[in-house]
Amino acid sequence: MTVTYSSKVANATFFGFHRLLLRWKGSIYKLLYREFIVFATLYTAISVLYRFFLTGSQKRFFEKLSIYCDKYAEQIPVTFVLGFYVTLVVNRWWNQFVNLPWPDRLMLLISSCVQGRDEYGRLLRRTLMRYVNLTSLLIFRSVSTAVYKRFPTMDHVVGAGFMTKYERKLFDDLKSPHLKYWVPFVWFGNLASKARKEGRIRDSVDLQTLMNEMNKYRSWCSLLFGYDWVGIPLVYTQVVTLAVYTFFFACLIGRQFLDTDQGYQGHDLDIYIPIFTLLQFFFYAGWLKVAEQLINPFGEDDDDFETNWCIDRNLQVSLLAVDEMHMNLPRMEKDIYWNDTSARPPYTKAARSPPQESAVIGSQSVQDVGSDNTASREDGNGERN
């Protein structure tokens, strides 16, 4: 889904972006080619009708209509409306990405705060971590098309190991008309309190730290649910869409090449193909397509979020951290700079040489203030001495 090209633009080069223009997956060509073909076909059909099928009087009427459409189409504020709309959509899209729930901080706390290398301690840590991943799965199921197709029912959630059959029964017995993604967090809090009473969590500070981090994770999940619930107002999306398509509907008539013998202003050249009108359609309609793709990043478009990958990754690394890596420490050894006061890792031939030999000490350290650097102060009468 997500199209990554960072390695292709790691360095600024001559026409560096040209290599990206030939890519198909995630490209504007893939998004827009159908609409572009329809627009070009309609324009061609109207042009053929005007040139070969209309009578002389009908052509004069069409020419007046074309000039009228061309004159007033420019009054539609397409650039203004599209600019604000796409900016809003991109900001919303990025905010959803930075608030995706990642369990890394919680898994580190659980691994360090929940003690016990016996089977019960292992069960405690894995269960706490499973509740965390179950919560994010329930959220992703409610907002992501790809995840819902993978886990269409709660039976699939149980079958995937995120929930036991007994937990499923407790979950179903809890009657609520609302989305119950918060239930595993209640279980998490209750189990953490139980572990504190049993001494598996050594003090209340560790418990408080664990609960605070759990609440941060819950807020990320709630934010994704909120973005799915309250979208960009429908009227705004309708206004932008109507503005773009109305403008280009007018261009189908207004941008036709008219009979040069009639002497219409601006129509002294007939080149048949409206190159700049097609480019304008490509840019404006493509701009709208950007918003269309990013307005809901939890679908199955090329640039939508890899939610299924997130689920797999989070479950794997979190269980690894709280189980196999619990109290699993490498042997401490002296580092190679043990007796070196100025450690400096070596460079390979492929790497660039060090960017500078001196330390960064601030830009003002090289300023020359001149010879007049004597301190002075004012007396009570405002005079310097």
Domain contains 200:
yes
Instruction: Identify the domain boundary among 183, 214, 229.
Output: 229
pLDDT value at residue 264: 81
Whole-model pTM: value is 0.84
* Position 222 in a domain: yes
The whole-angstrom separation of Cα 12 and Cα 8 is: 10
pLDDT at residue 202 in the model: 93
Does 182 lie in the same domain as 33? no
231 DSSP 8-state letter = -
What pLDDT is stored for residue 24 in this prediction? 81
Q: How many domains does the chain have?
A: 2
**Would 16 be classed as within a structural domain?**
no
How far apart CA 181 and CA 174 sit, in angstroms, is: 12
Residue 38 lies in a domain: yes
Judge contact between 288 and 82, C-beta under 8 A.
yes
Q: Are residues 78 and 189 in the same domain?
A: no
Task: Of 318, 332, 299, give the one whose Cα is nearest residue 108.
Answer: 318
Where does a domain end: 243, 270, 294? 294
- Are 130 and 176 within one domain? yes
Question: What pLDDT was estimated at residue 27?
Answer: 84
Q: What domain range includes position 252?
A: 25-98+234-294
Report pLDDT for 127: 97
Whole-number Cα distances in Å, 108 to 190, 216, 324, 327, 344 = 19, 14, 13, 11, 30
205 and 259 housed in the same domain = no
Q: Are residues 174 and 264 in the same domain?
A: no
Are both 121 and 201 inside the same structural domain?
Answer: yes
197 and 239 part of one domain: no
pLDDT attached to residue 348? 85
Domain boundary among 177, 194, 229: 229
Q: Are residues 67 and 53 in the same domain?
A: yes
User: Is 114 a member of any domain?
Assistant: yes
User: Do both 113 and 215 map to the same domain?
Assistant: yes
Average pLDDT across each block of 10 residues of the chain; the chain has 385 residues. List them in order.
70 75 83 94 94 91 92 90 94 95 96 94 97 96 95 96 96 93 96 96 95 96 94 94 94 90 80 92 93 92 91 96 92 92 85 66 70 60 58
Are 148 and 265 part of one and the same domain?
A: no
Structure tokens at 200: 């598996």
Rounded CA gap, 57 and 49, in Å? 14
Q: What pLDDT was estimated at residue 376?
A: 61
Residues 239 and 94 in one domain: yes
Q: For residues 224 and 282, state if they share a domain.
A: no
